[in-house]
Amino acid sequence: MLAQLGISDSFFRFVKAFQDPNYGHVDAAAIIDSLGTFHGLPYDPDLMRCPARYAARISQAFTATDAAVVPVEEVLKLDDITTRDGKYVFTDGVGTMSKDLARAIWKKLREPKKGHGKLSDFPHAYQVRYRGSKGMLSIDYTLNGVHSIGLRPSMTKFEADDVSGEHEIEIARAFDRPTPYYLNRPLIMLLEGLGISYDVFHNFQEKAVSDTKSATATLTGAARLLETHGLGASFRLPSTMQSLAKLGLDSIYDDPFYTRLLKVGVYHILRDLKHHARIPIPGAWTLVGVADVHHYLEEGEIFACIKHHTEGVIFLEGPVLISRSPTIHPGDIQLVRAIGIPPERSCFAREPLFNTVVFSVQGAIHSMACR
């Protein structure tokens, strides 16, 4: 089985100076000054000497997010968990939140998007922006009965005040469901360099081509194909096809629109297979990484609990090949051991952190630090 960490997108914005009736002359410098303090930061004194990092901090305020105004009652200042020598940070960009807050955020996100998931299936991890901080927030079961978040020094990028006074948390992504795992060219190159035979990748590719072509024979197969490759989700095509299949329609190949739609979908999938080697791997998932803040896992262990809308709850167990994204260095691919179903009364039995992969904070070099 495989797991993979996600990657976010970056972009640039430009502004032309203009006159505002309330704020007067507004230009790029005025907007940057309103974001917060970038000068003289004790935890990043060299920020202004690094144009790339400075630009990244500015762009943080313009990340595409969904605003969720929730009453945050408490902001905890947590220390980062590091190795004994302080060389590696296991909790780089990873904080915590209470379950009540996670539920409240999901309720706010669902309001403008009717049908956007059930309230009972709220995500247990979010990628967030809060004032001058950013990173992952996962549920800490010990924070009960209060809307609180725990921020670490590695999450704070610049100083910013909450001018609205409403404690607005911006949600960059809510991890309410797992996504399939795909190979790609850089990952295949690294795996080949580590000794994986070419035949392994060829067999997976041949199976992907065969499954793509045969999946269009039935509505259920076509719906699964589109869902696996993330096609038509905005128009609810997979769920529409599944609903038609439940009504007893096995195939509607006599409909020209449906036939053309499937052809376009198949061509898109085959093109990705040919040019990008985007090969789906059965029984593997792309998950977001968080840290074991309760120090339960041993070095080289992970915990992964997948909550799938059709397959139910799945606990990964045994040897697991895990990679981060993007894959650049051979160290981005590791073989770890998933602990499976957690023992009763353990921290993961109380809070399974659905659709995340939890990394150990034990060891020095062989454990993967979360980013």
- pLDDT at position 232: 84
* C-alpha distance from residue 17 to each of 11, 31, 38, 60, 235 (Å): 20, 10, 22, 21, 39
pLDDT of residue 205: 93
Q: Is the pLDDT of residue 108 over 70?
A: yes
Return the percentage of the chain with pLDDT > 70, whole number. Answer: 87
Model pLDDT, residue 137: 94
Q: Check if the beta carbon of residue 33 is closer than 8 Å to that of residue 151.
A: no
From the list 166, 174, 139, 160, the residue with the least C-alpha distance to 291 is: 139
pLDDT in tens, 122-146: 899 999 888 778 889 999 999 877 7
Q: pLDDT class for 370, splitting at 50, 70, 90?
A: very low
The answer to whether residue 117 scores a pLDDT higher than 60 is no
pLDDT digits (tens, 9 = 90+) for 235-279: 888 888 888 888 887 777 778 888 888 889 999 999 999 888 999
Q: How far apart are the first and last CA of the chain?
A: 22
Instruction: Decide if pLDDT at 10 tops 70.
Output: no
Nearest-angstrom CA–CA distance, 172 and 149: 16
pLDDT score for 305: 94
Mean pLDDT of 58-68: 66
* DSSP element (H, E) containing 2: strand 2-4
- Highest-confidence segment of 47-56, 164-173, 196-205: 196-205
pLDDT of 68 over the 50 cut:
yes
State the pLDDT at residue 61.
66
Q: How much of the chain, in percent, has pLDDT values that exceed 90?
A: 34
Is the pLDDT reported for residue 368 higher than 50?
A: no
pLDDT, one tens digit per residue, over 270-323 is 999 988 899 999 889 999 999 999 999 999 999 999 998 778 899 999 999 999
What's the token pair of residue 168?
């607005």
360 three-state secondary structure: coil
132 CB burial (10 A radius; 0-12, 13-18, 19+): buried
Q: What is the 3-state secondary structure (H, E, C) of 278-329?
A: CEEEEEEEECEEEECCCCCCCCCEEEEEEEECCCEEEECEEEEEEECCCCCC
What is the reported pLDDT for 1? 38
Q: How confident is the model at residue 6 (pLDDT cuts 50, 70, 90)?
A: very low
pLDDT band at 163 (very low <50, low <70, confident <90, very high): low
- At 319-344, the pLDDT tens digits run 999 998 888 888 889 999 999 999 99
Averaged confidence pLDDT in the chain:
82
Is residue 20 predicted with pLDDT exceeding 60? Answer: yes
Domain residue ranges of the chain, discontinuous segments joined by +:
179-282
Q: How much is the pLDDT for 244?
A: 85
